Amino acid sequence: MRLHWHRHDLRVTDNWGLSAADDVVLPVFVFDDEILQFGSPPRVAFMLDALAALRADYREQGGDLYLAHGDPSAVLPDLATEVGAATLSYTEDYSGLAAERDRVVTEALDSEGITVEGYHDALHHEPGSITTNAGDPYSVYTYFWTKWRNREKADPYDPPEQVVDRPGDALPALADLGFDEPVADIEPAGTGRARERLADFCAGPIYDYADRRDYPADECTSRLSTHLRWGTIGVREVYAATDRAMADAPDADARESVEAFQSQLAWREFYHHVLNFTPEVVTQNYKSYEQAIEWRDDQAEIAAWKAGETGYPIVDAGMRQLREEAYMHNRVRMIVASFLTKDLLADWRHGYAHFREHLVDHNTANDNGGWQWAASTGTDAQPYFRIFNPTTQGERYDPDAAYIHEYVPELAGVSAETIHAWPDLSPSERRDATPDYPDPIVDHGERREQAVTMFKRARGEDPDE
Ligand SMILES: Cc1cc2nc3c(=O)[nH]c(=O)nc-3n(C[C@H](O)[C@H](O)[C@H](O)COP(=O)(O)OP(=O)(O)OC[C@H]3O[C@@H](n4cnc5c(N)ncnc54)[C@H](O)[C@@H]3O)c2cc1C
């Protein structure tokens, strides 16, 4: 018999480690306080829902998911010995914290004579398999993408055939794990839901993805990020669906659009490689500057950003979407991240910590990659002098202000034209439009210059040149 230790691979199908060998499997999940202390209400709520769905999927096959609480380095060897398991399999994790946990667990199992097998199941191509010709990890996405795209992808794995019916502990509620109910409405979990999302997306929106993905009111993206984060769907199953969509694409534009989507899947893998090879990015800049960046870190401004009360409508709409749905559209994530770092001159780590707490799809690799990109400190980062203008971004990507109207009720009765002119209006014009929405907390033009100066100093350049 074999134990399969589920962590962020909460599904039965297309799970390499689970189906790797043709033997009897006891699937197990361990609630580990060491890891849970880094959880947040939306993420843990989704995880519990995903575990309930996983358990139901196993039960449908006549098996069960064994649930336990405690330190995995004690729980797993005890369980393996009790049931006579010779092997334990799991899906590899690429963050430093998880790697340390896995090292300790592996040692404990080794000392009991139990073989440990880690599977690179969460990515198509594991860290170290796509490198420069010199064998180094890529720090530029475009080259990584070319190789990633041309590499053959594995087919989805079948579910395991023989699963043990041994339930263990009851599934806890959020409160049992010490978490409050999330404020936001959380995406339902489970493989069934993920497949529904994938099928709906591949039936139409994928063909317009390239043109429409930047428009937050359009809602044409896949919304698979939380499912990919918890592994409620396998990467091979997702890719196979995009391949079928490619084969069915009506024309060259549609094919290009499918490829644009596949390239987003590759960004996810790129950032996981970056995290794997440079785990220090979680707390440090990826790109080093000659001098420390002198972030301003004004606490009142950061608080206004978190509350969605900056007086920049597209920024506030994004921050409110985050609070209400534990999710934010990608283009808007880029805008709010640029605003925090380049308009408020606040350290990206404040934004990363806030996203980590509130995003249901938070994963270290993508979240960190996104923040460091916006802050001009990451791989392939936005050049420090190319600073988003939040007003023109709102005008371009939310021209009718439909997204802003949805998330900022104070602006519901205000025309798109007035909304997109908000920072340029006089205070009395703003009060006439609505007394309820704040004035801009900063002047974008002034802050833009200050940001450029801040980065020039960090680069050791004379800011006046
Ligand atoms: C500041 C910032 C923080 C971010 N934090 C996260 C995070 O914590 N978790 C997360 O999954 N994504 C994060 N992203 C990337 C992106 O915003 C989300 O993946 C995307 O909005 C999720 O919606 P979707 O599933 O509909 O995406 P789609 O557009 O349908 O993309 C499909 C999948 O590709 C991957 N993907 C898409 N865009 C990116 C990207 N820029 N980088 C890496 N992978 C990508 C995701 O897995 C996504 O589910 C962040 C981006 C920024 C700018």
Same-domain check for residues 235 and 326:
no
**Range of the structural domain that residue 408 is part of:** 299-457
User: How far is Cα 158 from Cα 294, in angstroms, rounded to an integer?
Assistant: 53
How far is 279 from 272, CA to CA, in rounded Å?
Answer: 10
Q: In a 3-state reduction of DSSP, which class is residue 451?
A: helix
For atom 30 of ligand 1, the residue with the nearest CA is 222
CA-wise closest residue to 119 among 32, 236, 218, 33? 236
Domain boundary, last residue among 122, 145, 166: 122
425 C-alpha vs ligand 1 centroid, how far in Å?
A: 34
| The pLDDT value given to residue 132 | 94
Which residue has its alpha carbon closest to ligand 1 atom 2?
Answer: 370
What is the Cα–Cα distance from 253 to 129, expressed in whole angstroms?
A: 31
| Same-domain status, 434 and 335 | yes
Task: Collect all residues with Cβ–Cβ distance below 8 Å to 62 and sequence separation of at least 6.
Answer: 163, 165
In this structure, are residues 226 and 360 in contact, taking their beta carbons and an 8 Å threshold?
A: yes
Q: Tell whether 255 and 347 lie within a shared domain.
A: no
The reply to whether 289 falls in a domain is: no
Q: Which residues contact 68 (CB under 8 A, 6 or more apart)?
A: 28, 29, 30, 31, 75, 79, 168, 169
Which of 104, 122, 140 terminates a domain? The answer is 122
- Distance (angstroms) between ligand 1 centre and the Cα of 369 equals 10
Residue nearest to atom 10 of ligand 1 (CA): 366
* CATH of residue 139: 1.25.40.80
Whole-angstrom Cα distance, residue 304 to residue 313?
Answer: 12
Helix, strand, coil percentages for the chain (3-state, nearest 5): 55, 5, 40
Residue 382 is predicted with a pLDDT of 77
364 ligand 1 Cβ < 6 A: no
Q: What is the pLDDT of residue 96?
A: 80
- The pair of structure tokens assigned to 355 is 């996203």
Instruction: Decide whether any atom of ligand 1 lies within 6 Å of the 269 Cβ.
Output: no
Residue from 127, 94, 141 nearest 379 by CA: 141
Ligand 1 centroid to Cα of residue 17, in Å, is 25
372 lines ligand 1 (CB under 6 A): no
Residue 187 CB–ligand 1 contact under 6 Å: no
Q: What distance in angstroms lies between residue 225's CA and the mean position of ligand 1's atoms?
A: 6
Q: Is residue 247 part of a domain?
A: yes
Q: Judge contact between 389 and 301, C-beta under 8 A.
A: no
CA angle 65/67/71 to nearest 5° reads 140
Answer whether residue 429 is part of any domain.
yes
Q: Which residues of 57-95 are buried (b: 16+ CB within 10 A; e: fewer)?
A: bbeeeebbbbbbbeebbebbbebbeebebebbbbbbbbb
291 assigned to some structural domain: no
pLDDT score at 7: 96
Give the CATH number for residue 116. Answer: 3.40.50.620
Whether 383 and 426 map to the same domain: the answer is yes
Residues 138 and 244 in one domain: yes
Backbone dihedral angles phi then psi of residue 168, each to the nearest 5 degrees:
70, -145
Does residue 387 share a domain with residue 371? yes
Atom of ligand 1 nearest to the CA of 209: 29
Which of 285, 289, 341, 342 is closest to 460 using CA atoms?
Answer: 289
The residue out of 122, 141, 170 marking a domain boundary is: 122
Locate the ligand 1 atom nearest the alpha carbon of residue 223 and give its number. Answer: 26
Q: How many domains are contained in the chain?
A: 3
Nearest residue (CA) to ligand 1, atom 31: 264
164 lies in a domain? no
Task: Give the span between the Cα atoms of 249 and 410, in whole angstroms.
Answer: 42
- Let me know whether 236 and 381 are in one domain: no
DSSP 162-187: EE----BSPPPPTGGGT-PPPSSPPP
Q: How far apart are CA 427 and CA 433, in angstroms?
A: 10
Structural domain includes residue 462: no
What's 328's domain CATH number? 1.10.579.10
Residue 169 lies in a domain: no
pLDDT recorded at residue 464:
83
Same domain, 27 and 132: no
The atom of ligand 1 lying closest to the CA of 227 is 49
- Does the beta carbon of 267 lie inside 6 Å of ligand 1? yes
- Is 221 close to ligand 1, i.e. is its CB under 6 Å away? yes
Distance of CA 446 to the CA centre of its chain: 32
Does the C-beta of 361 come closer than 6 Å to ligand 1? yes
Domain membership flag for residue 441: yes
Atom 44, ligand 1: residue with shortest CA distance:
268
Q: What is the pLDDT along the chain (465 residues), one digit of tens a residue?
A: 999 999 999 999 999 999 987 889 999 999 999 889 889 999 999 999 999 999 999 999 999 999 999 999 999 999 999 999 999 999 999 988 888 899 999 999 999 999 999 999 999 999 999 999 999 999 999 999 999 999 999 999 999 999 999 999 999 999 999 999 888 989 899 999 999 999 999 999 999 999 999 999 998 999 999 999 999 999 999 999 999 999 999 999 999 999 999 999 999 999 999 999 999 999 999 999 999 999 999 999 999 999 999 999 999 999 999 999 999 999 999 999 999 999 999 999 999 999 999 999 999 999 999 999 999 999 987 788 889 999 999 999 999 999 999 999 999 999 999 999 999 999 999 999 999 999 999 999 999 999 999 999 999 998 887
Distance 353 CA to ligand 1 centre (A): 16
Same domain, 115 and 128: no
Co-location of 103 and 33 in the same domain: yes
Categorise residue 84: left if φ over 0, alpha if ψ from -120 to 50, beta otherwise. left
Same domain, 241 and 373: no
Same domain, yes or no, for 84 and 198? no
